[in-house]
Amino acid sequence: MPDSRLVNQQVKESGFRQKFGVNILGVQRKRQYLLSELKNEKMYSGDVLLVQGSWENIARLTDDQSDLVVLGQPLTEAAKVTLNHKAPVAALIMLAMVVSMMFDFIPIAPVTAVMVAALLMVLTGCLRNVEAAYKTINWESIVLIAAMLPMSLALEKTGASDYVSQSLVNSLGAYGPYALLAGIYFTTSLMTMFISNTATAVLLAPIALHASIQLGLSPYPFLFAVTVGASMCFASPFSTPPNAW
């Protein structure tokens, strides 16, 4: 800037390191690039400075807008930098969370395990701060699941789940458990073509559970069929728009 106090000052007199904690690595003056012996180089209006430092210190340069102009948004650019060196730590935290949820001998509830894992991600620096953690949350999925759970509960309380499961048992139960299992699977696969796979799983899970109980069978294969069937949404362009291209 023409009226900047830095004009005609030598780099070593500018105080960038003392005031902002950054080092000047180079100077671009029109089409000329100065990369060596910078400490005695004078700065002029229109010079572009290449600085080195932490993103926080570079962002502090924006506080001195009377003497210089910072190109870009340092903190925005910092958010784009991936923390690859934290990948092993994040993988270990996720593995510990999965193990604690899989084995009953660890006295930790699944929700508690997830919350502890999320907290460790922030404390160990896998996420820069709490704000970054909030930005990674898919709020649309949370709202969808929260909205579908009352509907699933309503189906159970009103007896609709019993009615549908009884209809499945009456129509397919006579052909054996494999026929009923296939019917639940194909019903789930068909529904997930037109509505969200999460919503389909929430709606069909209680129906599959009641159907298995009425036949005196283990509910796990039927719930597994719902899980796999709900994942078949990729076969349709309705629930997976990229497939339409």
Same domain for 29 and 124: no
Side-chain half-sphere of 244: how many Cα atoms within 13 Å?
6
> Do both 47 and 58 map to the same domain?
yes
Do 28 and 100 share a structural domain? no
Together in a domain, 27 and 15:
yes
β pairing state of 32-34 and 48-52: unpaired
Residue 2 belongs to some domain of the structure: no
**Are both 112 and 152 inside the same structural domain?**
no
Q: How far is CA 230 from the centre of its chain?
A: 21
Q: What is the DSSP letter of 238?
A: T
Question: Which residues does residue 23 pair with via DSSP β-bridges, in sequence order?
Answer: 52
Q: Is residue 240 part of a domain?
A: yes
Total tally of structural domains belonging to the chain: 3
**Residue reference for tokens 């002029």:** 44
Same structural domain for residues 124 and 168?
Answer: no
Tell whether 27 and 60 lie within a shared domain. yes
pLDDT score recorded for residue 105 = 57
Q: What is the pLDDT along the chain (245 residues), one digit of tens a residue?
A: 566 777 777 777 777 777 777 787 888 888 888 877 777 788 777 778 777 777 777 777 777 666 677 776 665 665 566 667 778 888 898 888 888 887 765 666 677 888 888 888 888 887 766 776 777 777 777 777 777 777 777 777 777 777 777 787 788 877 888 988 888 888 888 888 777 777 788 888 888 888 888 888 888 999 999 888 888 776 655 555 454 44
pTM score, two decimals? 0.46
Look at residue 244 in the predicted model and tell me its pLDDT.
43
71 and 47 co-located in one domain: yes
SS (H, E, C) 3-67: CCCCCCCEHHHCCHHHHHCCEEEEEEECCEEECCCCCCCECCCCCEEEEECCHHHHHHHHHCCCC
Give yes or no: residues 99 and 60 share one domain.
no
Show the domain range for 168.
Answer: 140-244
CATH number at residue 47: 3.30.70.1450
